Structure formats: C-alpha cells, structure tokens
Amino acid sequence: MYIPGTLLELGYQEDCVAPPGRFLVVGMDTMTYDFLPGDPEGFETLEVAQGVAEGMTGGEIGSFGSGQTMVKAYVFNDHGEKVGEAGSF
C-alpha cells in the first residue's frame, strides 16, 4: 500500500482505503495538515473520483466545499493504492 508520506506519518493509512470496487478521495490542507476525509462510500469510477479531487483543489465548489490552493487531494482504490491526485502545495 502506498500512502503519501504526510498522510502516513499522521496515521491516516486506514482512512485511505476505498470500499470494495470503489475509489476514495481524501485531502490534506498542506498549511495546517488538517485531514479532509472524503465520502466514506467512495465513487464508482476513477474518472468521477479524479473529478472530485480536481474540484476540491481547483477553485470550484466540490464535495469538500470551495476549492483552494494549498490543498492536495489523493484518490485511492480499494487496496489502498494511490491512483490519482490533484492540487498543489
């Protein structure tokens, strides 16, 4: 399982595994290191999950509220593998 270093160091590895057959989006404010949990049910496709990740970090209204800089979003599969990301530091 690959979890981005900061999420792993903060103990969020269990929060980075999607339900079976789905994709999970989680985020982190890179200024405060606040963990931004995603929808626990996840998303049916990688494309939808990636769109949510981009929406939460790109200045659009996403599932986490308004997108903003200094937020990274990661997409994980049901094996806890990072399969996508969006945002910047």
Give the pLDDT score at 75: 93
DSSP string, 22-61: -BEEEEEETTT--EE---TT-BSSHHHHHHHHHHHHTTSE
Predicted structure pTM score: 0.75
For residue 26, the tally of other CB atoms under 10 A from its CB is: 25
pLDDT the model gives residue 69: 61
Query: pLDDT for 40-89, tens place per residue?
Result: 899 999 999 999 998 888 744 344 444 456 788 889 999 888 899 998 76
7-54 pLDDT, tens per residue? Answer: 555 555 567 888 999 999 988 877 777 777 788 899 999 999 999 998
Helix, strand, coil shares of the chain as percentages rounded to 5?
Answer: 25, 30, 45
